[in-house]
Homo-oligomer: A and B are copies of this chain.
């Protein structure tokens, strides 16, 4: 009676490890959903996703009871990937270039993932917290790039990472009739501005 059936040190919160097939299915679903969302939009039939993932519908609903759960998971995964790209860039390039490259990558993400801006602006309470997640994950990543670039005297210290993040998010959520790379151009301009140390008095 007094024995912990799992033997785990973490206690009541982790009664058992997640089954490996379950994790594999979740990954397959997220991959499939990312692809299908890109092809047919976020309102694509569930069957299209489950077929591509090679699982039954039941499995989809087990892991993502609401469609918004699936959308959120896909987006959060992309945000993570974006954050993870920062250290590699920082290692490969001088600070100013690393920052520019990373912002380009962020802009590309926001521009191409229409579903992202749509979810962010949908007003659906299911997506509350998404922009919080964005700040939380990307804020530090951007912050360290920014600090490094500032310390190396490659940019002017005039913006916070939050300022930049929101600026990119808002500028890159394009209006339909805008030229397609309006957002990217504006961000590039912004970065050029930041890096224009030598033209300053």
Contacts and interface: CB of A to CB of B under 8 A. Distances in A.
Given A114-B123, A122-B114, A123-B114, A131 B176 contact: yes
What's the number of copies of this chain in the assembled complex? 2
A173 B131 CA distance: 13
A54 interface: no
Contact of A129 (B166, B171, B173, B176): B176
A10 B124 CA distance: 47
Contacts of A120: 121, 175-176
Instruction: Classify chain A's interface size.
Output: 20 to 34
A157 B177 CA distance: 26
Interface string A152-172: 000000000000001001110
Contacts of A123: 41, 114-115, 117-118, 176
A121 B177 contact: no
A10 B75 CA distance: 54
Interface string A88-125: 00000000000000000000000000110110111110
A17 to B, nearest CB: 34
Given A120-B176, A121-B174, A169-B175, 11 more contacts: A41-B124, A114-B121, A114-B122, A114-B123, A123-B176, A127-B176, A128-B176, A128-B177, A130-B176, A131-B177, A170-B173
